[in-house]
Structure 1
Amino acid sequence: MKLKEQITINNDALLTQYLEVRRMTEEICEPLQPEDFVVQPVVDVSPPKWHLAHTTWFFENFILKSHLKDYKLFDKDYHFLFNSYYETEGDRWVRSERGALTRPWVNEIMAYRKYVDEHMRHFLQDCQLDEALSDVLTIGIHHEQQHQELLVYDIKHILGINPLFPTYKAFNSSEIEPKLDEKYLKVPEGLYDIGYEGDDFHFDNEEGKHKVFLHEYQILDRLVTAGEFIEFIEAGGYENHNHWLMEGFEWAKKETIKAPFYWFKEDGVWKHYTLAGLEEVNPNEPITHINFYEADAFSKWKGKRLPTEFEWEVACKKYQAEIPDSANFLDKRHFRPMPRVGSDHQFYGDVWEWTNSAYQPYPFYQKVEGALGEYNGKFMINQMVLRGGSYATMKNHIRPTYRNFFHPHLRWQFTGLRLAETL
């Protein structure tokens, strides 16, 4: 979550980046109706209005309030309403009740965004940033990109549980016939470097660089598809305890889970809700909306396993260190996972990939002081690491060392898997 030493701070470049990110957030919300902005169907989903306000609160609270002379808060109550989890910043509205905030209205939140953006523009045009403040601004920009991804998750959840299956945007499903042979990428035994090293932006949970010994292994050269997951379902995969971790099997039984989230079978045909509305499942698209337990059970059913996050990172750096043009990110606005194109190994975009690694600090990890020290470190418990990004991730936000993390039972996010095995 910090930048390495910089010689000069380019305010114009930061302002351009800031405004582009802010516009993208509002573009994501353009198809919504006023009623959509307040809904919170489950605790993990935040209303779109809250995302719009919280990302704005970040810049007002961590930059303008303390660093712009004579700055006046847009509304003093917003600090309480739109703080997320920063204990250092004081009391906040309870997460599970964000949907109860019918006030302030959406138009008031949009006025809040405009107010803060105008002051940020003034600040960046007239004030020279030091390195520390530039770091905070850059974190805020990437923080908003993380909320853009969450916005897409949450919008899909809000619309996807509506029995009318409303369309967010109309998109055509790909007619690509991909090459879906089960081929593997081999990685020899050895010591490998893990973690970020460089001068560009990265989060603190990617530090510090360290060595990990890996036995020889191989990893699938693409993502697992929906069609392959249908085979698991129809082979009784959800009912056979032999494939499952005990905790996962108990979860599936308790919640009567028989398929990925948003899926159901009608007249013998598997259908699912997409952001383009209700569709038949495309068997060539990567499987998504499965949690860690489901990914782990599928891999065992196939006689394989999930890769560790270290195996994933090493294979990614070895076979696809640079992001290919074919990678499916939010920038392309497909708003769905896409079938594999050509020889793309799909290490980037489409769906986040579950790994078999618990989210823990790397050696040499150091928590930064103050509120931003709460950004990553305090969540390093009871969560699993995911890698690679999704179709709701911006391309300039991801890299091979990026570590995402979620609790193992969650599946409203865009998550899938690839297989691995030790040789």
Structure 2
Amino acid sequence: MTAGHTCAVAGIAARFLQLRQRTLELCAGLSAEDLQLQSMPDASPGKWHLAHTSWFFEQFVLGRDPAYRPRDPAWHYLFNSYYQSVGPMHARPQRGLLSRPSLDEVRDYRRRIDDAVGELLDRSDDAELPGLVELGLQHEQQHQELLLTDIKHALWCNPLQPAYRAPVAAPADAKAVPLQFVAGREGIAEIGHRGEGFAFDNETPRHRTLLQPHALANRLVTNAEYLAFMGEGGYREPGLWLSDGWATLQREGWQHPLYWQDDLASEFTLAGVRALDPHEPVCHLSYYEAEAFAHWAGARLPTEAEWESAAQGVAIEGNLQDAQRFQPRAAGAGSGLQQLYGDAWEWTASPYIGYPGFRPLPGSLGEYNGKFMCGQWVLRGGSCATPRDHIRATYRNFFPPQARWQFAGLRLGQDR
């Protein structure tokens, strides 16, 4: 082994243990019953997340070792998510029916995978191995966020609406700064990953794009501003909505953001039901709701190129998972663009498609992102459930336009 390879292996081995432990810490305080819940087809049980992330390392890292033998070959079927090229999988809407293997067996599975990955890193001179482990860790961090959003939905479905964790108080005087628009760059700009450090394939290649004269709001839209939209008939006026959005609203009976109570004065959070803070960013909105609000406000949603151009060079600071508040907070005093990272994912006006010249990863890992480039919309910036060292200016999240259970809000944009 070269000195560079040895150093890379040591670094990734330490990061591997740290992030795998972080996933378990997010489950601390949750019972086996909590971790068995699947409250809707789009969500997954916490136990399944614990197993699937381990399966990912087993399939794509340990599977490179001819001497490795799976813990239980039948689990390959249970914990494969959507990788058709490696075999069939259990139906996603029925993951909550998997009472076996037990939570203890899944935890033991994780330990076995952790040990096997550590041992493989110690002895292998495979130059691609550190990169594959890093991909698995980035995947794990995505599931850390999903653990939080999925358990929030499950606990909300309980009539008792219990808390996941005790609340972490925000500053007593936290108030949103006045809404202002900040002119963005215009002309030819470059977006996409530069090739330094980790990136998913959908962040590449870096390419040029043309930015028209525009401006972005200095902060995210607040609960108070969204209440004003509702007070002026936002959920009753079809002229504000895209056709599919209005049809979805009618079919689902939407009257307010997902976790708001019907009194419009309180909301369900991971710390339980609490008073609605008018200064905090509104979140748990679908793309349709974000777009309708922007229309009502006489503005629009930013494009992802506008957002990324504004975020380039900005330090990754904000209300992210590491703060353990798990709830958006008001933008504090300051000038310029705020809340670019954390608090709530920001819906953009951009459909999730490949960049010019996009090529997915080779082999089965090519299914990770590319095959979802149809019918999805891009979100940027991370949320209060996103790990700080997972997000970056080029990161492209994506969900279908009706999705509401993620910490998703919006920033306004406008033409100039």
1:54 to 40, 45, 52: 52
Aligned residue for 1:284?
279
Secondary structure class of the residue paired with 1:252: helix
CA contact (8 A) 2:53 2:143 kept: yes
Distance 2:51 2:299 in 1: 44
Aligned residue for 2:303?
308
Deviation at 1:377, TM superposition (A): 0.5
Query: Unaligned 5+ residue runs, structure 1?
Result: 1-5
Does residue 156 in structure 1 map to residue 152 in structure 2? yes
Relative to 1, partners in 2 of residues 1:188 and 1:91: Cα closer, same or farther, differing over 3 Å? closer
Distance 1:315 1:135 in 2: 29
Secondary structure class of the residue paired with 2:104: helix
Where do residues 163-202 of structure 1 align in structure 2 (5 Å cutoff)? 163-174=159-170, 175-202=172-199
Secondary structure class of the residue paired with 2:120: helix
Deviations along 1:263-320, one digit per CA (max 9) or x if unpaired, are 1233xx5211101011111111111100000000001111100001111111222xx6
Aligned residue for 2:365?
372
Aligned residue for 2:20?
22
**What's the % identity of the aligned pairs?**
42
Secondary structure class of the residue paired with 1:8: helix
Deviation at 1:180, TM superposition (A): 2.2
Distance 1:14 1:397 in 2: 15
Does residue 328 in structure 1 map to residue 295 in structure 2? no
Deviations along 1:64-96, one digit per CA (max 9) or x if unpaired, are 2332x6322111111010000001111111111
CA contact (8 A) 1:64 1:120 kept: yes
Deviations along 1:120-169, one digit per CA (max 9) or x if unpaired, are 12222232331x22221110010000110111110101101111010110
Aligned residue for 1:92?
89
CA contact (8 A) 2:35 2:47 kept: yes
CA contact (8 A) 2:177 2:332 kept: no
CA contact (8 A) 1:185 1:315 kept: no
CA contact (8 A) 1:11 1:129 kept: no
Secondary structure class of the residue paired with 1:367: coil
CA contact (8 A) 2:121 2:129 kept: no
Deviations along 1:166-225, one digit per CA (max 9) or x if unpaired, are 011011442233342111110243111111113210011111111111111110011111
CA contact (8 A) 2:176 2:279 kept: no
Aligned residue for 2:212?
215
Distance 2:136 2:176 in 1: 40
Aligned residue for 2:137?
141
Where do residues 50-129 of structure 1 align in structure 2 (5 Å cutoff)? 50-67=48-65, 70-129=67-126
CA contact (8 A) 1:11 1:128 kept: no
Secondary structure class of the residue paired with 1:265: coil
TM-score relative to the length of structure 2: 0.96
CA contact (8 A) 1:194 1:314 kept: yes
Where do residues 406-417 of structure 1 align in structure 2 (5 Å cutoff)? 406-417=399-410
Greater shift in the superposed pair: 76-85 or 342-351: 342-351
Deviation at 1:321, TM superposition (A): 2.0
Where do residues 257-268 of structure 1 align in structure 2 (5 Å cutoff)? 257-266=254-263
Distance 1:404 1:322 in 2: 19
Distance 2:185 2:271 in 1: 43
Does residue 419 in structure 1 map to residue 416 in structure 2? no
Does residue 296 in structure 1 map to residue 296 in structure 2? no
Aligned residue for 2:374?
381
Amino acid paired to 2:192? G
Amino acid paired to 1:338? R
Aligned residue for 2:238?
241
Structure 1 segments, 4+ long, off by >2 Å, are: 6-9, 69-72, 125-129, 175-180, 341-344
Secondary structure class of the residue paired with 2:404: coil
Secondary structure class of the residue paired with 1:263: coil
Amino acid paired to 1:215? Q
Does residue 273 in structure 1 map to residue 268 in structure 2? yes
Does residue 396 in structure 1 map to residue 394 in structure 2? no
CA contact (8 A) 1:167 1:275 kept: yes
Does residue 231 in structure 1 map to residue 224 in structure 2? no
Distance 1:383 1:148 in 2: 21
Does residue 361 in structure 1 map to residue 354 in structure 2? yes
Deviation at 1:246, TM superposition (A): 1.1
Distance 2:215 2:68 in 1: 56
Distance 1:116 1:60 in 2: 7
Relative to 1, partners in 2 of residues 1:173 and 1:254: Cα closer, same or farther, differing over 3 Å? farther
CA contact (8 A) 2:176 2:330 kept: no
Distance 1:176 1:82 in 2: 46
Q: How many correspondences in the alignment?
A: 410
Amino acid paired to 2:266? K
Query: Unaligned 5+ residue runs, structure 2?
Result: none
Distance 1:106 1:204 in 2: 33
Amino acid paired to 1:330? Q
CA contact (8 A) 1:387 1:403 kept: yes
Greater shift in the superposed pair: 207-216 or 167-176: 167-176
Q: CA RMSD in A?
A: 1.4
Distance 1:99 1:112 in 2: 18
Deviations along 1:230-281, one digit per CA (max 9) or x if unpaired, are 1111221100112111110111111111000011233xx5211101011111
